[in-house]
Amino acid sequence: MISIKNQKDFFAGILLLVFGIGLCVFSQDLQIGSNRQMGPRYFPLILSALNIIIGIILAFRSFKTSSERIEFGPWHPIALIAASVVFFGFLIDRTGLAIAAFATLIIASCAGPEFRLREALLLYCIVIVPLILLFINGLVLPMSVWRAPWN
């Protein structure tokens, strides 16, 4: 019976394999081009091939070398951080940068051991002006700062 001796390497290898295959699948509609005239699929294809190769190496290495078992901690903070990113992506087009950033900051702040609304609001007030200057004025991204959610 084959047993996994190094869980960290095994799961990291599987994760890299999944990312590599996913990147390869999602970039299939793009043209690859050539070495001289690179198309939009060229770099993702190289990156996905490297992910797949490193993932296979890590997965096979996990059967030979041993390591301590993975102990999973509380899922609450991880789920809240992931939810904050998902909410940002969901809200950015519907409400604008100001509300999306506010929701992201409040949800992510709840992941810590102590949540203080006053500190979260102060952090938002400090972060929102540089955020708007960076994304809207500096990078000239086509997004609105404020949009009413009911429109």
The mean pLDDT value for 103-107 works out to: 89
Q: How confident is the model at residue 132 (pLDDT cuts 50, 70, 90)?
A: confident
Both 52 and 82 in a single domain? no
Same domain, 134 and 82: yes
Predicted confidence (pLDDT) at residue 19 exceeds the cutoff of 90: yes
Q: Which two tokens stand for residue 70?
A: 């993975």
Decide if pLDDT at 146 tops 80: no
Residue 104 sits in which domain range? 76-138
Q: Which residues pair with 28 in a beta bridge?
A: none
- Angle (CA) 64 68 71, round 5°: 130
Total domains in the fold of the chain: 2
- The pTM assigned to this predicted structure is 0.54
From the number of C-beta atoms within 10 Å of its C-beta (0-12, 13-18, 19+), residue 121 rates as: middle
User: Does residue 131 sit in the same domain as residue 85?
Assistant: yes
